[in-house]
Structure 1
Amino acid sequence: MRTNHLLTKTLFVALVAVATACGSKSNSQQNDEKSAQTATEENWIQLFNGEDLNDWQVKFTGYELGENFNNTFRVEDGLLRVRYDEWDEWGGQFGHLFYKDEFSHYRLRVEYRFVDDQVAGGPGWAFRNNGLMLHGQPAETMEVDQDFPVSVEVQLLGGDGTDERSTMNVCTPGTNIVLDGVLLEDHCITSDSETYYGDQWVTVEVEVRGGEVWRHFVEGEEVMSYEQPQLDQRDQYYEKLLPEDGNKILSKGTISIQAESHPTDFRKIELLVIEE
């Protein structure tokens, strides 16, 4: 009887251990499933699908909407590429590629790199230079000879091999911003990012909250913030774009990327709508 009692006790302990292990595994699985569900619930919109530019519109200075001058914007090997191999030289034809929809409150995540040589005759400031033009005017409202859409530009820059050259700066074609409570009328304000040399991929993100606070991130680190993006009343397109209610604060708009004379690759352009 004593032997049977010991066997029974041993079996009971073993069953409890197995049950505990199974319970722990179940909890772990539940946590994994919860994390996966959270990731799924973050419904990132792939603005660039890796296959074509069907959801985008092209506009070049001096050309009608829809004309992809010299086949500059293209999709190759799953990348959205800005290329100048079919150009003889730069002639001031700034290009912009507009996504089809407008957005207000969102996070925009982009992976980019600069490659190859700048097209002959390209402006010095445009070396390894591109940009995310946000809260921009609709492509259809741009004039034929207009260089840049009125927008807030999140500027992408690569190093020149010599000087420090931050990326994720802010520039303001036809607009102004408020920084630390002060309305700034400077065209570009630099961020606190490091310089990225060579052809490496860089991951950046912008958190846009309508006409309120905007935040810039490089490789997960915040590098600048500002607020109240607004139309600049000194700009030639101010009256044309000012809404009927006279509110010059920009609370939504288009998203576009640039072609400013230096070859650029994009392998991800994705957006997550956030609560207002």
Structure 2
Amino acid sequence: MKFNIIGVSVLSFLLFACKPSEEKDEWQSLFNGKNLDGWIPKLYHHKVDDNYANTFRVTDGKIQVVYDEYEDGKFGERFGHLFYEKPFSSFILKFDYKFLDQWLDDAPVFTFRNSGIMFHSQAPQTILKEQNWPISVEYQLLAEEKEGDPRPTGNMCSPGTEVVFEGKIDPRHCINSSSKTYKWNQWISGELIVYKDSLVVHKVDGKEVLRYTKPQIGGRVIKGHDPKQKVDGKLLTEGYIGLQSEGQGIEFKNIKIKTLK
């Protein structure tokens, strides 16, 4: 009898241990709704942790990117990012965003109703003061610019990186998604699914709009970086997530992540 009990216990253990892995991780909120604890700002021409003119702030439970405290209302090429404090490798990221009626007209024209979420980025501490963009991949956020003109969101842009699209490395800096065009003043739900360096999927309002593989360091676009950080051809298996600032006001809420195994 004793042997049978032990045998059953051992069998139960083995069955449990050999059971195929299941995703059990819970969703983790990256934003506490109150302050920017856990986030690190880095702006072009400024050192890491210098949140110039309160560019990134929390208002009514949302992270806002705004410029009302900028001197003389000038952007001054202060391209910036607000990075979450730790890197991620394989994950699902969900978020909601909406553009604000604020754009600094000395910012490049392409930044109008344009922002983004960076991922697989280099660590903010490795971004030099005079480095314009981080080496990263971008889930680009756009909204309608002119009535009736298509302008999809959920695109891919590649500062200091490249991706394989439709079977080959694509030379374009940005690849458009298949999403519809959204009005600038409506909330839009984005989703990013990343499996290390093997597959990346962009979704908008729950619908897949773009997929590509093998994100890797390469291309040009960025300047002022540490050459040691830009090893062209190196596959990106993990990195930091950052909210972008390019002279266009925007706000984010419901930013949450689930890590994948």
Range into which the TM-score falls when normalised by the shorter chain: 0.7 to 0.9
Q: How does 1:55-70 map to 2 (within 5 A)?
A: 55-70=38-53
Alignment-derived partner of residue 4 in structure 2: none
Q: Pick the structure with more helix per residue.
A: 1
Q: Of residues 136, 142, 155 in structure 2, which corresponds to 1:157?
A: 142
Task: Write the distance in 2 (CA, Å) between the matches of 1:106 and 1:112.
Answer: 19
1:108 partner amino acid: L
Alignment-derived partner of residue 209 in structure 2: 223
Alignment-derived partner of residue 12 in structure 2: none
Q: Of residues 198, 204, 207 in structure 1, which corresponds to 2:193?
A: 207
Q: Of residues 19, 26, 31 in structure 2, which corresponds to 1:48?
A: 31
Task: Write the distance in 2 (CA, Å) between the matches of 1:128 and 1:53.
Answer: 24
Q: How does 1:1-276 map to 2 (within 5 A)?
A: 41-87=24-70, 88-162=73-147, 163-232=149-218, 237=225, 239-241=227-229, 248-275=234-261
Offset of residue 161 of structure 1: 3.1
Task: Write the distance in 1 (CA, Å) between the matches of 2:204 and 2:186.
Answer: 13
Where structure 1 has 5 or more consecutive residues not aligned to the other structure, the ranges are 1-39
Greater Rg, structure 1 or structure 2?
Answer: 1
Structure 1 residues 85-94 or 144-153, which shifts more?
Answer: 85-94
Task: Write the distance in 1 (CA, Å) between the matches of 2:164 and 2:184.
Answer: 33
CA RMSD of aligned residues (A): 1.8
Task: Write the distance in 2 (CA, Å) between the matches of 1:238 and 1:67.
Answer: 19
Maintained 8 Å contact 2:135/2:230: no
Where structure 2 has 5 or more consecutive residues not aligned to the other structure, the ranges are 1-22
Maintained 8 Å contact 1:161/1:197: no
2:247 partner amino acid: S
Aligned residue pairs total 234
2:229 partner amino acid: L
SS in structure 1 opposite 2:102? coil
| Length-normalised TM-score, structure 2 | 0.85
2:228 partner amino acid: K
Q: Once the two structures are superposed, what CA deviation does each residue of 1:159-179 show, in whole Å capped at 9, x if it has no partner?
A: 113321100000000000001
1:149 partner amino acid: P
> Identity across aligned pairs (percent)?
38
1:147 partner amino acid: N
2:138 partner amino acid: E
Q: Once the two structures are superposed, what CA deviation does each residue of 1:190-220 show, in whole Å capped at 9, x if it has no partner?
A: 0000001131100010100000010000011
Task: Write the distance in 2 (CA, Å) between the matches of 1:78 and 1:157.
Answer: 22
